[in-house]
Amino acid sequence: MIIITGATGFIGSNIVADLNARGRTDLLLVDDLGTQGKWKNIAKRRFLDLIDYRDVDTLLRRLPGKADAVFHMGANSSTTSTDGDEILRVNLHASMFWWNWCTRTSTPLIYASSAATYGDGSQHFNDDQNLEALEKLAPLNLYGWSKHQFDKWAVERASEGNCPPQWAGMKFFNVYGPNEYHKGDMRSLVAKNTELIARGETIKLFKSHKDGYADGAQLRDFVYVKDCTAAMLWLMGNSIPSGLFNMGTGKARSFVDLMNAIGSALGQNVNIDFVDMPESIRHIYQYFTESNSEKLNSLGALGLAYSLEDGVCDYVNSYLSKVDQYR
């Protein structure tokens, strides 16, 4: 059995799709369906059971004595959330539960961390799991703080030998791809703007308010979800050193590049209007993020199949341009 938490969400449902494609249907899914249509993310999937993560009694009864792996993707991933108690319960304590269960049952654990742990990037984007290096990071929002707290907790437990036989904390950068539609305003700019560009409408990007960056030239490490899931399934199937791993392309690209990639996929010209960034976020806005992907590369786990243009083209033409947009 393989257990996937957050299984009806964005990355989780793509893991389920990849596992089904490999013939694995012995999957225990843990999540809630909510009211955002997340059921559509798994409508084509085969699995043993789907358990609401809040139904602890049923979950505990269904857990096996050991699993082949746990993919813990469940979290409140909103970077604008201000509900500290929910973040504590869903992002931190639930992660501790799965870590302890995997430790007790000798089950490998792959969990979702985030590039939000790096804060403003002043300490660079190196997936150094030395506690001294981790203590220097200062996340800018509650979501990033919760992921960072668990990373530190995990590293401390591992240093004591109190850890799963294999574990990997994936520091996801800017992930985009199919099955993100329920995320509302947290969807990628590809999901938000493809239809607008297809209709020939003008799209809006933030002006730059920092010297050295042109309007729309702010840089992000955009990584296609299929590359993320491929790397995690590779980790599950190979015995490698445990630790924290950046999950990005290692090449920052601009928002203008991203929009032009959509236009190229559609065969459309892209019209952009640059608008002022809200005053409320200017002081915490990141102008540059780029994964240092050397650690995963050195293991052979990061055989990226998609450049920015290739990933956007696949997303736009295989999903966003279809009546059925779901994987």
The 10s digit of each residue's pLDDT in 18-61 is 999 999 999 999 999 988 899 999 999 999 999 999 998 999 99
Give the contacts of 99 (CB within 8 A, at least 6 positions apart): 109, 111, 154, 157, 163, 164, 167
Catalytic site residue 285? Answer: no
Q: Which residue shows structure tokens 């494609």?
A: 21
3-state secondary structure of 37: coil
Catalytic site residue 226? Answer: no
What sign does the dihedral 157-292-249-135 (CA atoms) show?
positive
Q: How many CA atoms lie within 13 A of 89 on its CB side?
A: 6
| pLDDT, tens digit only, all 327 positions of the chain | 999 999 999 999 999 999 999 999 999 999 999 888 999 999 999 999 999 999 989 999 999 999 999 999 999 877 777 888 889 999 999 999 999 999 999 999 999 999 999 998 888 999 999 999 999 999 989 999 999 999 999 999 999 999 999 999 999 999 999 999 999 989 999 999 999 999 999 999 999 999 999 999 999 999 999 999 999 999 998 888 899 999 999 999 999 999 999 999 999 999 999 999 999 888 888 899 999 999 988 887 767 889 999 999 999 999 999 999 999
Rounded distance, CA 276 to CA 234, Å? 42
Its pTM surpasses 0.85: yes
Pick one of 3.90.950.20, 1.10.3720.10, 3.50.50.60, 3.40.50.720 as the CATH number of 2-176+221-251+290-305.
3.40.50.720
Rounded distance, CA 144 to CA 211, Å? 26
Active-site position among 183, 207, 213, 251: 183
Q: What are the residue boundaries of the structural domains of the chain, listed by start?
A: 2-176+221-251+290-305
Q: How many residues does the chain have?
A: 327
Active-site position among 40, 111, 118, 143: 143
Element (H or E) spanning 261, and its range?
helix 255-266
